[in-house]
């Protein structure tokens, strides 16, 4: 790890020297590009520099521990433990920081939750997932907006689509895609038997017009009356828009705005994002196969996580992570899971 960090710091210093060259400073486009890369590496440089200093200090304390100076050896005993923990923490940070960021990580995200197998219970679970993600995201400072919704017959949602805005929204959410399974006793179960049902989650980066070329002649646009409970989520209007992309068969809808023009605009944004997501997923599957990792494939059919209510247990199957605090996780305390997934993905990439 120290060797990798040292090479990274050398690259940082090379960039710094290059930015100081008069010919680079005179080339605005080149300077802007290099400066952006340089700024993106600043946090990694700071952590990496501190990491190497700590490793050097640890080596010196370990030498003192085996020396002839009893007083210094006693001081070494007190210093080594905390220093090793600090180095371990920084190594975890660096494994994530040293991986080149996904070019879409800093974009807004579209989060879709759909009820799967399990009937009404799956719709209720989709509602639980919606509240879990909303609490987690709002606590992190993201803005969460419902763009389309289809309610379940006994509560929850058959489908709900969210637009999540804020820096790194996609990067924070991208590993949530896949099938989420719940095991619990439904309220309607008279004999107390545990049932299993599921919901699927899809996360897509917000697409820009330059990412996907959509021709008007490839679109079929339908206008219909918005449905649902109204109030917080759905406005009862005649301006809901459904767009079908004929070549791919992808269908999107938006019904949350009062204006047909606004709904059409949002539906087109969603369509671009779905088409971009398909291209990203194909690329990620190929990369994941090459490094034998499921993290980040984006495959909606992958069973990614199980929520077991009787045991208060959550298991993420991709990284074999099991936590016994489902009561906290389901109310939005997802940070330990998202951190572990990002670390696993970074380690996979660093090892290849």
**Residue range 132-170, pLDDT digits in tens:** 999 999 999 999 999 889 999 889 999 999 999 998 899
As a residue count, the chain comes to 352
For residues 314 and 337, give the distance between their C-alpha atoms in angstroms, rounded to a whole number: 10
- Tokens found for residue 200: 């699927």
pLDDT of residue 277: 83
For residues 277 and 298, give the distance between their C-alpha atoms in angstroms, rounded to a whole number: 9
The distance of Cα 219 from the centroid of its chain, to the nearest Å, equals 30
CB of 247 within 8 A of CB of 214? no
For residues 210 and 47, give the distance between their C-alpha atoms in angstroms, rounded to a whole number: 35
CB of 138 within 8 A of CB of 248? no
- Residue 145, CA distances (Å) to 104, 141, 169, 240 in order: 20, 13, 13, 16
CB of 40 within 8 A of CB of 4? no
pLDDT of residue 233: 46
Fold agreement between 2-97 and 109-350: no
Burial 192-229 (b: 16+ CB within 10 A, else e): eeeeebbbbbbbbbbbeeebbeeeeeebeeeeeebebe
Number of neighbours of residue 72 by Cβ within 10 angstroms: 13
pLDDT of residue 231: 46
| For the chain, domain boundaries | 2-97, 109-350
Name the residue among 274, 281, 278, 232 with its Cα closest to residue 253.
274
> Which residues on neighbouring strands pair with residue 201, listed in sequence order?
113, 178
> Which residues on neighbouring strands pair with residue 205, listed in sequence order?
109
Three-class SS state of 291: coil
For residues 230 and 161, give the distance between their C-alpha atoms in angstroms, rounded to a whole number: 15
Enter the pTM of the model. 0.67
pLDDT of residue 190: 66
pLDDT of residue 291: 47
For residues 61 and 78, give the distance between their C-alpha atoms in angstroms, rounded to a whole number: 10
- Residue 120, CA distances (Å) to 181, 186, 195, 309 in order: 14, 9, 12, 17
Residue 289: phi, psi to the nearest 5?
-65, -35
For residues 134 and 166, give the distance between their C-alpha atoms in angstroms, rounded to a whole number: 13
pLDDT of residue 55: 94
CB of 300 within 8 A of CB of 202? yes
CATH topology (fold) of 109-350: Alpha-Beta Plaits (3.30.70)
Name the residue among 226, 217, 228 with its Cα closest to residue 266.
226
**CATH code linked to domain 2-97:** 1.20.58
pLDDT of residue 236: 52
Residues in the chain where the model's pLDDT stays below 70: 188, 190, 209-210, 227-238, 283-301, 352
């Amino acid at each position: 790890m120290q060797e990798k960090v040292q090479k990274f710091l050398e690259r940082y210093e090379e960039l710094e020297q290059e930015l100081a060259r008069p010919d680079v400073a005179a080339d605005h486009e080149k300077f802007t590009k290099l400066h952006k890369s340089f700024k993106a590496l600043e946090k990694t440089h700071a952590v990496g520099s501190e990491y190497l200093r700590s490793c050097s200090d640890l080596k010196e304390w370990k030498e003192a521990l085996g020396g002839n100076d009893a007083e210094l050896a006693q001081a070494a005993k007190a210093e080594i433990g905390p220093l090793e923990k600090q180095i371990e923490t920084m190594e975890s940070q660096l494994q994530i920081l040293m991986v080149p960021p996904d070019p879409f990580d800093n974009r807004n995200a579209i989060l879709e939750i759909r009820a799967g197998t399990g009937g009404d219970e799956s719709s209720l679970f989709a509602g639980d997932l919606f509240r879990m993600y909303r609490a987690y995201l709002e606590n992190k400072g993201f803005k969460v907006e419902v763009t389309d919704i289809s309610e379940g017959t006994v509560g929850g949602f058959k489908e709900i689509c969210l637009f999540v805005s804020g820096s790194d929204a996609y990067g924070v959410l991208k590993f949530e895609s896949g099938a989420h399974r719940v095991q619990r006793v439904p309220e309607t179960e008279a004999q107390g038997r545990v049932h299993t049902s599921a919901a699927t989650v899809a996360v897509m980066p917000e697409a820009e017009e330059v990412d996907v070329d959509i021709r008007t002649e490839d679109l079929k646009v339908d206008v219909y009356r918005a449905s649902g409970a109204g109030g917080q989520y759905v406005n009862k209007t005649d301006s809901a828009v459904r767009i079908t992309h004929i070549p791919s068969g992808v269908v999107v809808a938006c019904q949350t705005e009062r204006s047909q023009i606004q709904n059409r605009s949002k539906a087109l944004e969603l369509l671009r994002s779905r088409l971009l997501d398909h291209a990203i997923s194909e690329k990620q599957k190929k990369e994941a196969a090459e490094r034998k990792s499921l993290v980040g494939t984006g495959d909606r059919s992958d069973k990614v996580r199980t929520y077991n209510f009787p045991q208060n247990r959550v298991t993420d199957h991709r990284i074999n992570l099991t936590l016994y605090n489902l009561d906290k996780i389901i109310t939005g305390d997802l940070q330990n899971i998202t951190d572990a997934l990002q670390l696993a993905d970074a380690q996979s990439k660093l090892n290849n």
